Structure 1
Amino acid sequence: MKVGVLGGGRMGAGIAHAFLTSPNADSPHDVIVVERDEQLKDAAAQRIHEALSRSIARGTIDRTLDDAISALHVSTDIGAFTDRDLVIEAVPEDRALKSEALTTVEGVLAEDAVLASNTSSIAIDALAASLSRPQRFLGLHFFNPVPSSSLVEIVSGSATDPTLVERARGWVEALGKTPIVVRDSPGFASSRLGLVLALEAIRMLDAGVASAEDIDRAMELGYRHPMGPLRTTDVVGLDVRLDIAEELYATLGERFAPPALLRQMVADGRLGRKSGEGFYRWDGE
């Protein structure tokens, strides 16, 4: 299958990695990643190459680096998507930005191509409103870090062709991941539940109920979560959590109001692992 990914940041690079290393596909996927300028293009290519190298070193994939890289093309030309069977949008979690990006991509795709968004919170119907072929559009919500995450959330909009959802199940399973299917709603299932837990943990930390470490241990040891909500927020990115909270606050109400502590940390540049500091320090990681 010919796959395109719009955006080569952490999520876009991870999605490209997943298709390049798909363990159950009938044949290797051909993957094109498009970024908006040469600097971002080079950064995306390096990010994907490094992720592939790590996977090969760990023995988690059985392709050689040269073999995997030969199936990857990184470009600044949106027209490179013209022959793609599937294009996944992975730009930042901003409704206007995503809508504009999706409309632009749809304009170069073949009529039978599939367009998907990796949005983690924005309703698929809201994004489909600007598209001319909403029946060929759905949500494919991958999780960070994509290479080691086993879940993909398939989100069906009101206009999404039901047969497309079943095809998407097959694509996800070919990646060696587990699909769940969710009816379109802001935040879907995963972000909505995960955010409630994260926001309450932030409020508890701000109120001095317990330390970040002990709040996380409560969920890890008491409820067998593999990672506590504050450490997870650091991995996801506090800015990403804030964007999702703003979207759900606007669409679902007060219970998703971002805590003042979250807003302040983002304003201060303490974004979690990617900045080196969030609720934890991430020196050298």
Structure 2
Amino acid sequence: MHDIDEIQTVGVVGAGTMGHGITQVAATHGYDVVMRDVEQEFVDDGLAAIESSLDRFVDKGEMSADERAATLGRIIGTTELADLADADIVVEAVVEKMAIKRDVFADLAEVTDDDVVLATNTSTLSVTSIAAATDRAARVVGLHFMNPVPVMDGVEVVVGERTADETTALAHAFAETLDKETWEADDKPGFVSNRILMPWINEGIRAFDEGVATKEDIDRGMRLGTNVPMGPLELADHIGLDVCLDATETLHQELGDRYAPAYLLRRKVEAGDLGKKTGRGFYEYD
């Protein structure tokens, strides 16, 4: 397995919100990054999102134009999984569906060297089950970045049943090279973050649906009462209501009825009102 000082090229599978965020942060910190998605349209959208994000950092004076150009120069977009063959570590950030993740990891195990660590950005699914799709379960670990990746400081390191100690150590060290702080969780449903966060969001939605308060006052009450930057309904819109529903359904299946998704959450998703990314969730967006 590579030492942290030997990691030069990072592979990222998925060019969506999390994938392009991870790509941007890795490239900003000097890594060469190969970002892969299944369609060129998705790759192009991911690259455009990175450019826009970097533009905002330049506009705020947090990055120079030369640093922006250098960061973009370290990123390659592709639709070919085989282009990740030379990666020293790979982070998967595809949709939160077990079958899809297992297929991705089985393919990654075929195209990458045996000693390459394969990390999953899953927020609720079993790292152990994902690892079992490969021939190197000891080299599979959870690296759960927080959204939005370029802004949030935390990364959750999730240890599967067969994750080797040196793999876990490398995961912590890699995240720290990205100026992230880490915490560690066992491979139990939801880990630390979503096991606690999703019920909080879910209960906020229930409180709104049952008329406890307006959505504005629910969010205001949580911001002022608990010193969080966003209330539960605001945060759900930011994450994506479909993502929240998927995570809550996984927790419900694994942990029982106390995690059952709120009716209004499911109804919003069925209506296609998924939050900021669709322009409408619990709030409306330009």
TM-score (norm. length: structure 2):
0.94
Match of 2:131 in 1: 128
Q: 1:5 aligns with which of 12, 15, 21?
A: 12
Q: 2:36 aligns with which of 34, 38, 63?
A: 34
* Alignment gaps of 5+ in structure 2: 1-7
* Residue identity (%): 39
Match of 1:53 in 2: 55
Q: 1:211 aligns with which of 189, 192, 214?
A: 214
Match of 1:25 in 2: none
Which residues in structure 2 correspond to 1:1-285 (within 5 Å)? Answer: 1-22=8-29, 28-61=30-63, 64-283=67-286
Secondary structure at 1:148's aligned position in 2? coil
Q: In the alignment, is the contact (CA less than 8 A) between 2:141 and 2:171 conserved in 1?
A: no
Q: CA deviation at 1:124?
A: 0.7
Task: State the Cα deviation string for residues 140-174 of structure 1 (Å, max 9, x = none).
Answer: 00111111101100001110111121122111111
**Compared CA separation, residues 249 and 183, structure 1 to 2 (3 A):** same
Q: Within 1, Cα distance between the matches of 2:210 and 2:37?
A: 42
Following TM superposition, the consecutive aligned residue runs of length 4 or more in structure 1 with deviations greater than 3 angstroms are none
Secondary structure at 2:35's aligned position in 1? strand
* Alignment gaps of 5+ in structure 1: 23-27
Secondary structure at 2:57's aligned position in 1? helix
Q: Within 1, Cα distance between the matches of 2:59 and 2:167?
A: 36
TM-score (norm. length: structure 1):
0.95
Q: Within 2, Cα distance between the matches of 1:49 and 1:110?
A: 31
Q: Within 2, Cα distance between the matches of 1:222 and 1:261?
A: 24
Q: Within 2, Cα distance between the matches of 1:260 and 1:53?
A: 39
Q: In the alignment, is the contact (CA less than 8 A) between 1:114 and 1:136 conserved in 2?
A: yes
Secondary structure at 1:147's aligned position in 2? coil
